[in-house]
Amino acid sequence: MVEIQCPHCDEDIELEDDVFGLFDCPHCDEEFSWEDDSDDRDVSNEYTTNPLKISGIKVGLGLLLVAAIVWPVGPALFNAGASTAVYDNVISFLVSFVIFSAGISVLFAAGIMKLLRG
């Protein structure tokens, strides 16, 4: 076993001997490459830095947060003037439900992808 540091989060990572290529850090889920140089072992992230990478879990939780905000604030947002308060509440609930469903779907997909990656 060889112990290296992640170039993104500086946490220690153990890799099997004689393996190299692209790996995902188990701590921060960022990708890095490990090359087998017997004289100079180096961890490189030359082609893997992606500042816009947002995990599915963050997106799903963000959608759930938006749904939680839209539900109570919705009647004021969707006030159609002459409509009744019940109508505004129904629209607010339906919009919140759609956003909530999207959030749950994204979280489910992110969880499945994380399980498939190992």
Tell me what pLDDT residue 39 has: 47
Return all residues near 70 (Cβ < 8 A) that are at least 6 apart: 77, 92, 95, 96, 99
pTM of the predicted protein model: 0.48
pLDDT score recorded for residue 43: 53
* Alpha-carbon span 33 to 108, nearest angstrom: 28
The tens digit of pLDDT for each residue in 59-118 reads: 888 899 998 888 888 777 766 565 677 777 788 888 889 999 999 999 898 888 888 876
Confidence check: pLDDT of 51 > 90: no
Radius of gyration of the chain, Cα coordinates, nearest whole angstrom: 23
Rounded to whole angstroms, the Cα distance separating 57 from 108 reads 9
